[in-house]
Structure 1
């Protein structure tokens, strides 16, 4: 039987061999392809936390839990030792103040100084704001996640069970427009499947995190709706490998996948807002070593 992770590795190989070389927003350059798909059966508890390199899945889940708060400031992330969003506000701070502050010092100031955090730790109306606090043209606030759970409970065959973050009116205010931008849900035989569309997919660094975060979200929503997990379907739009990640990609492709780990929720939370990182248990995760690479900002 073909290892599920091979879908990801084949896509990485395809990018190396056939990707369109282009200059991107960051100036780093990418090898890019349009349109990709991967499907994972998570009904047995096995989840696509990649094994050909170590994926820090707790960081991905903590980020997802932060999205669910509707928050837009990096301070709570830093307090939980999650530093994956620091690059954007740090770049803005350096650009606007001219101060050549180091990342560690900047992050510590955000943690220590609430006023500084409010001014410089803001990301604008990113993911969680749109998921939980979308402001409609009527001035009302819409909680898309709550609506998804309600529909799953009351009308599970609906084709309208989805949420997204691509709020055209607010894109210009965001530090980074949403990459994983649409989540759609499907119920069959008491199992919840999730399709996630990612318009911009950094295959080496971003996609492995997005796999882990999305299945964690799927498990939480399934539990809140009284369902079991089914399949996780990932779809990529512009799938790309940064030019300075090619050696790392070749290193990852040289490794053989190991058995995927399992993930489970250790308790049923009172609501979608009540989950904590301690509620997630991953077992049997024995990956190859981590692969270091720079984030393109």
Structure 2
């Protein structure tokens, strides 16, 4: 009679990062080669889904290359302020949004200023930052101040001083009606897309509370990205979406559940061959965890010091140019 396999004989659980690498390899080997907005060109697939377990402090932090999770966290906290000027980011050494204002400044002035000098001037000169550092009504503006217009009775409309705070409404809704199917945060404001430096890529978030009738509910979150640069942007997008779920769960007395990531146009840039080949040659390892060290009074009061990551020993950073 065959013996029953012991627990130690069971195959190890597949590392969460393999699904990302599998998608990357599939795109690089089989993706449709396309001409894109930037002129660089991509290999692309349409429609992809990844799932990440967030229980026990787990986070979808890539290990095959170093991900600067503090930079991603600072960006997400900046979104929650509703600000649209890069000055607060530059003051913290976060330069991930600098290229768009810099490109506009160079085009309109003819001044071939270095990136570091431009960023330093944004920080030092408030008037210069006001003129050249604004991105238009991107992400955070839509999240916490979606514009509302009121009819004046004469066929014209006036913009209300304070718009819809989707984040505050989301927290209130999760607490009051966890079973709702309307726990959504949307960034794709069609009327204001042309005013944005970059229309939202991670455009729609939806949340779902499971298991609430059997004890403490689990908060699941789904992120839909219309466009995803899998080589560069995805690492930040996945981290931030998981961070969002963890913060909401803490504020709403729920347990973190699962992040479901969905991509529309998921692509790799043709000039990122070295990045792709280097990352695909590496093997995922470890199981990084994140702890939230403090529970602020509201979701808008978190600070970078409130987050601690342990067990993260990634491969070296892999740099690549950003297509603006």
Shorter-chain TM-score bucket reads: over 0.9
Rounded Cα–Cα distance in structure 1 between residues aligned with 2:320 and 2:127: 32
Structure 1 residue 3: Cα displacement: 1.1
Structure 1 residue 213: Cα displacement: 1.2
Cα displacement string for residues 161-218 of structure 1 (whole angstroms, at most 9, x for unaligned residues): 0111000000000000000000000001211110000110000100001111111111
Aligned counterpart in structure 1 of residue 281 of structure 2, from 254, 258, 265 = 254
Q: Which residue of 1 aligns with 2:39?
A: 27
Structure 1 residue 143: Cα displacement: 0.2
Rounded Cα–Cα distance in structure 1 between residues aligned with 2:128 and 2:287: 42
Q: Which residue of 1 aligns with 2:220?
A: 193
Count matched residues. Answer: 297
Q: Which residue of 2 aligns with 1:168?
A: 190
Aligned counterpart in structure 2 of residue 151 of structure 1, from 161, 169, 173 = 173
Contact 1:50/1:260, CA 8 A, preserved across alignment: no
Structure 1 residue 260: Cα displacement: 2.5
1:11 maps onto 2:23 in alignment: yes
Q: In angstroms, what is the RMSD of aligned CA positions?
A: 0.8
Rounded Cα–Cα distance in structure 1 between residues aligned with 2:177 and 2:137: 30
> Secondary structure at 2:312's aligned position in 1?
coil
1:131 maps onto 2:143 in alignment: yes
1:44 maps onto 2:44 in alignment: no
Aligned counterpart in structure 2 of residue 68 of structure 1, from 69, 73, 80 = 80
> Secondary structure at 2:223's aligned position in 1?
strand
Q: Which residue of 1 aligns with 2:233?
A: 206
TM-score by length of 2: 0.91
**Structure 2: gaps spanning 5 or more residues:** 1-12, 151-158, 212-216
Rounded Cα–Cα distance in structure 2 between residues aligned with 1:97 and 1:260: 48
Deviates more, 1:30-39 or 1:220-229: 220-229
> Secondary structure at 1:66's aligned position in 2?
helix
Rounded Cα–Cα distance in structure 2 between residues aligned with 1:133 and 1:126: 11
What are the within-5 Å matches in structure 2 for residues 209-228 of structure 1?
A: 209-228=236-255
Rounded Cα–Cα distance in structure 2 between residues aligned with 1:260 and 1:82: 26
**Which structure has the greater CA radius of gyration?**
2
Structure 1 residue 227: Cα displacement: 1.0
Greater length-normalized contact order (CA 8 Å, ≥ 6 residues apart)? 1
Structure 1 residue 9: Cα displacement: 0.3
Rounded Cα–Cα distance in structure 1 between residues aligned with 2:182 and 2:111: 48
Cα displacement string for residues 56-89 of structure 1 (whole angstroms, at most 9, x for unaligned residues): 0000000000000000000000111100000000
Aligned counterpart in structure 2 of residue 116 of structure 1, from 123, 128, 152 = 128
